[in-house]
Structure 1
Amino acid sequence: MKTLNIRIWFVQSFLLMGVLGGLIFFSGLQVYILFSPEPIISLQSSIYLSLFLFLLLIILSLYFGFRGGYLFKGRLDSLLTFVTTLRSGKFSARITKSENDEIGLITDELNHLAQFIQDQVKSLQRLADEKSELANQAHHAAVIEERQRLARELHDSVSQQLFALGMLSSAAIRIIEEDSNQAKGMLEQVAQIASKAQGEMRALLLHLRPIDLKGDSLREGLIKLVRELKEKSNLEIEMRIEEIEHLSKGTEAHVFRIVQEALSNILRHAHAEKVKIVLERSKDMLHLYISDDGKGFGVHASKMTSFGLQSMRERCEELGGVFQIRSKENEGTYINIRIPVEEVLKIG
């Protein structure tokens, strides 16, 4: 559908009014000259006067059309910028009211809506804090469930891989003197399965790491997590983690768990060599960026990491944040998370 620029619409409207005004004046003057017994102006003079007034009306229409359209479009652009800012997750933003007219009323309502959303985000973060406390209280009950889950994971993945290692190694020993090439192929499969089993175990151990920070800040906890992972794997991890103050315990715990879940997924499924982690604060937004150079996957089609991705998305949304993921086969995976934090931003 074709759209019309608001300034062009203003100019067209004023121009139309100017043309109609000029025609009405010219027609009225001609009627006066024809029917008046003693007209005070000649026909030729009336034509010149009409043309002059017509041109004057055209010029004034263009001026006021452009001026009115510019002012009106400028105010609409401010509203559009504000709505875009809210859509990006900056719910603490506010727009300055310039006039007490209909657009001014819309401005007030948008500011009230932003305040309402910001209050809802605070409520979500408060609920996250309460949920964190309840999680601590339920820790002992969760230990039993986690042990059962670990047993299932070991049975479904690592134990089967160990069984395959035993079968292949036994077969290789039997035929190594008869067919060395076939035995070599089997040993290569043994090496691959062993590497995969090792990655599974590292991911399980990383996932079972305690989620509380034990008095550390979020930055300190993430640095320790990354250092521990570097010691136990061949991943090359680049990180830029800022010290971010005044975060609630619930927010820190959720962000820490998101990073932990992401690294666990990378170990299990990505077959990556390089990982990048960035945590920083930009005004009223907390930014978390995690990327890897692994094999990637179809975000909508893959079921392999759906549980881990869903868990990260839910933790992000509990904090009122925005969760974005991009991945493509053989091109890696990129996770971008934005979580609002307390700070008021004014938009003029």
Structure 2
Amino acid sequence: MFHKLNSLRFQIVRTQFQTIYFSLLVIACVLFFTYSVIHPSWLTLEAIFFSILLICLLMTPVAMYVSFHYAGQVKERMDGISVLITQLAKGKYGARIINQDYKSSGDEIDYIADDLNQLAEKMEKQVKSLQRMADEKNDFAQEAHKVATMEERQRLARDLHDAVSQQLFALTMMSQATVKLLDKKPEKAKEQMKEVAQMALQAQTEMRALLLHLRPVHLSGESLQTGIAKLIEELKQRCSIDFQVNLDDTLHLSKATEEQLFRMVQEILSNILRHAQASHVLLELKQREESVTLYIRDDGKGFNVSEKTENQASYGLKTLNERAGELGGSFIIRSKEGEGTYSTIRIPL
């Protein structure tokens, strides 16, 4: 109730009434002054009070109609500006304020609307420019594929040494120690065998994630939906995670956009395999209004996003942000310890 009374429409109505009744007060003061000082024969107290009452009865409904009508026009124009700002915030850079949608008065509000239209046009051009640069970058990336492959092999070799190789070495040492304890301390040997099994499972998970990185980065002429479907089928055969996949087959994206989105899917799924310890993963690809949305959720152990942001390389956040930004889009990740992780990528069409 109080919010409505403080709205722009009621502020204009109050201003109109304040002006009218202030003017009425001035008229009353002039009449009473004339009656008291000059004493004209035609001016009486009854005439003064009757005139004031008559003006009140006539001007109140007129002022109410005029002020509400004018306030409605102003509110309609301001609503148009508010809707445009909301659409721009959602990535609808093709939205515009059309003068036919409301009565144009050639005042400051129209100037603001024109400035917002120009801003929306510039933002739309910038997004198209970013996407065009992404296409060009994709061409350069294909030409440099051999160099990138060599660097990727070196990185994988380091990961194998830092993670899997060390875990296998630890497995070897623990298994040898366990064999020696089988006869002397069978209970201790049993506990160590559980640790060996856990380390073996972790090494297997690390290897699956590294194998995921070994898959082709490019779609090789396939659509994004086909590439994701094949990737998920391959993962289903290698791990026990339950995947739920919803892909919009009607989406038609540029080649560069599909390549970047596919690489981001690989990166996120690899992180889930290596860190999340999840049993269920939901992946959705759909068009929402004027943007394409990629949503991936897991029920893993989660993590503290604010702490990970300080060391983005450990979870690939920096790379994912950069890939989304190159397409004029956004990458949002939400997570909490013990409650899984939610990743959302939005790219404007």
Provide TM-score, normalisation by structure 2. 0.92
Contact 1:275 1:291 in 2 (8 A): yes
Q: Deviations over 1:267-318 (max 9, x none)?
A: 0000000000100113321111010000000111024764512111111111
- Residue type matched to 1:191 in 2? A
1:63-78 map, 5 Å: 63-78=65-80
Which 10-residue stretch deviates more, 196-205 or 304-313? 304-313
CA distance in 2 between counterparts of 1:179 and 1:64 reads 97
1:51 offset after TM fit, Å? 2.5
Alignment of 1:19 onto 2:21: yes
Give every structure 1 segment of 4 or more consecutive aligned residues whose post-TM-superposition deviation is greater than 4 Å.
304-307
Report the identity percentage. Answer: 44
Candidates 196, 201, 214, aligned match of 2:207: 201
CA distance in 2 between counterparts of 1:42 and 1:235 reads 95
| Counterpart residue number, 2:182 | 176
Alignment of 1:105 onto 2:107: no
1:105-254 map, 5 Å: 105-254=111-260
Which 10-residue stretch deviates more, 50-59 or 179-188? 50-59
List alignment gaps of at least 5 residues for structure 2. Answer: none
SS in 2 for 1:176: helix
Which 10-residue stretch deviates more, 65-74 or 126-135? 65-74
CA distance in 1 between counterparts of 2:304 and 2:69 reads 51
Contact 1:6 1:69 in 2 (8 A): yes
**Please, what is the CA RMSD of the aligned residues?**
1.9
Which 10-residue stretch deviates more, 147-156 or 60-69? 60-69
CA distance in 2 between counterparts of 1:276 and 1:307 reads 19
| Counterpart residue number, 1:270 | 276
Structure (1/2) with the larger helix percentage: 2
CA distance in 2 between counterparts of 1:238 and 1:182 reads 41
SS in 2 for 1:94: coil
1:255 offset after TM fit, Å? 0.6
| Counterpart residue number, 2:340 | 332
| Counterpart residue number, 1:318 | 326
1:12 offset after TM fit, Å? 2.2
CA distance in 2 between counterparts of 1:122 and 1:132 reads 15
| Counterpart residue number, 1:344 | none
CA distance in 1 between counterparts of 2:64 and 2:187 reads 88
SS in 1 for 2:304: coil
CA distance in 1 between counterparts of 2:290 and 2:272 reads 29
Contact 1:219 1:244 in 2 (8 A): no
Seen in structure 2, the aligned counterparts of structure 1 residues 331 and 305 have a Cα distance that, compared at 3 Å, is farther
CA distance in 2 between counterparts of 1:250 and 1:20 reads 67
Seen in structure 2, the aligned counterparts of structure 1 residues 251 and 184 have a Cα distance that, compared at 3 Å, is same
CA distance in 1 between counterparts of 2:318 and 2:281 reads 21
1:102 offset after TM fit, Å? 2.1
Provide TM-score, normalisation by structure 1. 0.92
SS in 1 for 2:222: coil
CA distance in 1 between counterparts of 2:54 and 2:186 reads 105
SS in 2 for 1:278: strand
CA distance in 2 between counterparts of 1:38 and 1:296 reads 90
SS in 2 for 1:142: helix
| Counterpart residue number, 1:300 | 306
1:217 offset after TM fit, Å? 0.8
- Residue type matched to 1:159 in 2? S
1:53-64 map, 5 Å: 53-64=55-66
CA distance in 2 between counterparts of 1:295 and 1:245 reads 33
1:95 offset after TM fit, Å? 2.2
Q: Relative contact order: is structure 1 or structure 2 higher (C-alpha 8 Å, sep ≥ 6)?
A: 1
**Alignment length, in residue pairs?**
340
